Amino acid sequence: MKIEKKDILKALETITVAGEGKNMVESGAVTNVVTFADEVVVDLVLTTPAMHIKKRAEDDIRKTIQDLVYADAKVKVNIKIEAAPKTTTDANTIKGKNIPSIKNIIAVASGKGGVGKSTVTANLAVTLAKMGFSVGILDADIYGPSMPIMFDVESAKPVSVAVDGKSKMKPVESYGIKILSIGFFTAPSQAVIWRGPMASKALNQMIFDADWGELDFMLLDLPPGTGDIHLSIVQSLPITGVVVVSTPQAVALADAKKGVSMFMSDAINVPVLGIIENMAYFTPEELPSNKYYIFGKEGAKNLAEDLQVPFLGEVPIVQSIREAGDYGRPAAMQTGSVIETVFEEITRNVVQEVVSRNENLPPTEAVKITTMAGCSAVKGKK
């Protein structure tokens, strides 16, 4: 079988380039394609030297050509690394397409599942909103979206709106928070069985093809672990910083350490705003002065000290947190509750880290943000 160059280019247009919201052909990453009988040679330029990214790109190209063009195609990929042009002198600003209407983008991550990352994200969001900030959540946990449940909008569907002549998704709103999640587009019982490139493409659409409006903070609820989704997100957006959630348990801490290491690596280079310890201790209602450290004591706090990153606070095990999440009303919304106080303190710490690390933030804006959050001081700002 003779393979046509135009068929190859059409197939490669289905692979999204992380960092630009464009496919490999449109972005210019594919510089040349040569075909001869059943052989295909693809010349590719990448801006990241990381071996796992190169390997992933090569595998994606080979599989896409074999799946969409010719199953027995002999594919060779020549990869050349070229440094990405620097658009800023801020060492903490990674490559990513800027979204002028969104001032701060905070990723919430965890090394392993089940540590309460989504619960923390939801409660951080409502606390920021109570402080007066405009907030959005992108549920980037493609394979386990939970924000529709936590905000009681499972049956909601984003509508299409016209913005500057283009059709865009309008995020679902709940408790003043703008939300987009893959859960809005699938049945509750439907499993999302996607490979990395398809998941990345869906995320890019929810980021760049949505009408988010003006946001002070966008929170990204990342999937657990360190994989394709994380690479796509951090290369697609100018992330202000990442918050890592962990329990005090040794197994969770080992994975949290890997997560912090990934974001601090040269290939990713995203500022780690700090670590939050969830399920830190249990206090019975009838014994309010007692603390039982079921999963260990201050494990995440000690990890933060070892890694020299800020410790943002601890969240106790409280039944109302689980109940509130299941009922679709985040616990931090309960006025006068212990959880409200806990998340107010943690949120202030997060905001303070955001301001102190953003060297390009105008002093007036820094004062405004810290005043709204009730921060007592701004580290690193004069």
113 is known to lie in a ligand binding site: yes
Measure the CA–CA gap between 221 and 122, rounded to whole angstroms.
Answer: 9
116 is known to lie in a ligand binding site: yes
How far are the Cα atoms of 3, 5, 10 from residue 71, in angstroms, in the given order? 11, 16, 16
55 is known to lie in a ligand binding site: no
Find residue 135's DSSP bridge partners. 177, 217
Phi, psi of 76 (to 5 degrees): -120, 135
Q: What is the layout of strands, in order, in the sheet containing 39-46?
A: 30-36, 39-46, 74-81
176 is known to lie in a ligand binding site: no
19 is known to lie in a ligand binding site: no
160 is known to lie in a ligand binding site: no
Q: Phi-psi bin for 33: left (phi > 0), alpha (psi -120 to 50), beta?
A: beta
258 is known to lie in a ligand binding site: no
Measure the CA–CA gap between 118 and 108, rounded to whole angstroms.
Answer: 8
114 is known to lie in a ligand binding site: yes
- Dump the DSSP string for 291-332: -B-TT-SSHHHHHHHHHT--EEEEEEE-HHHHHHHHHTS-GG
Q: Which residues are annotated as a binding site for ATP?
A: 111-118
Instruction: Indicate the annotated binding residues.
Output: 111-118
